[in-house]
Amino acid sequence: MEKRIIKRYEYELNETIREDAEVSIFIARRHERIYSFREYHSADAYISDIAKYKRLQKAGINVPKLIANDREDRILIFERFTEETALSVMAKRELPELYFQQIFNIYRFCRFSKIDIDYMPENFILKGTTLYYIGDDTYEADVKHNLENFGLRYWVYSREAMDHLQSKGYTVDSKRLLSEEETNKRIVLLSVTYW
């Protein structure tokens, strides 16, 4: 276990999550709390991630809070949540309506800000009654990849969602699979209700 001092606070790096030419991401601990500790090897990647974070915050999208920013060493430390992702919840049971209310609120913020995010359910967690976007991607608004025309199909137990769950290593329940007609009805009902 490596220990690092950032802005006078000591972080214990416990586990490597990702390591590539641009960034190394670790799970870090400080006083029994866990964090996402990102050490950038590329100045461009560091600047890009800060810009994405600011853009998401400006749009009003709940994201894990930036705890520390060390420009000199190119380190970002974010809060890290232990709650399950929407995808792991969906693998076990139907998603509660609160998820859908929140995802449409996020979608509304994205539309007003003329951006899109990665709407796949593994990029969201519900902490208390607040849905957080834990993904890293932001895009210019694109009708082909927005929530209504693309992402929502993965939030109901459609054929696409079942295939996606399988690709992520989850056990699927074919009894829960919605037909194409049921999937479309559910998507329309959700859109009418929450949009």
Which comes out higher in pLDDT, residue 137 or 158? Answer: 158
pLDDT recorded at residue 137: 84
Which comes out higher in pLDDT, residue 180 or 136? Answer: 180
CB-side neighbour CA atoms (13 Å) of 102: 22
% of residues, the chain, pLDDT over 70: 100
If you average pLDDT over residues 120-130, what whole number do you get?
95
Tens of pLDDT, residues 32-72 = 899 999 999 999 999 999 999 999 999 999 999 999 999 99
| Separation of CA 10 from chain center | 27
% of residues, the chain, pLDDT over 90: 89
Q: Spell out the alpha helix ranges (H) of the chain.
A: 43-59, 86-92, 97-113, 159-167, 180-194
Please give the structure tokens belonging to residue 30. Answer: 């400080």
Whether pTM > 0.95 for this model: the answer is: no
Tens of pLDDT, residues 6-33 = 989 999 999 999 999 999 999 999 998 9
Dist CA 184 CA 190 (whole Å): 10
Dist CA 134 CA 145 (whole Å): 18
Comparing CA positions, the residue from 114, 9, 130, 18 lying closest to residue 64 is 130
Please give the structure tokens belonging to residue 134. Answer: 């834990």
Partner residues linked to 69 by β-bridges: 76
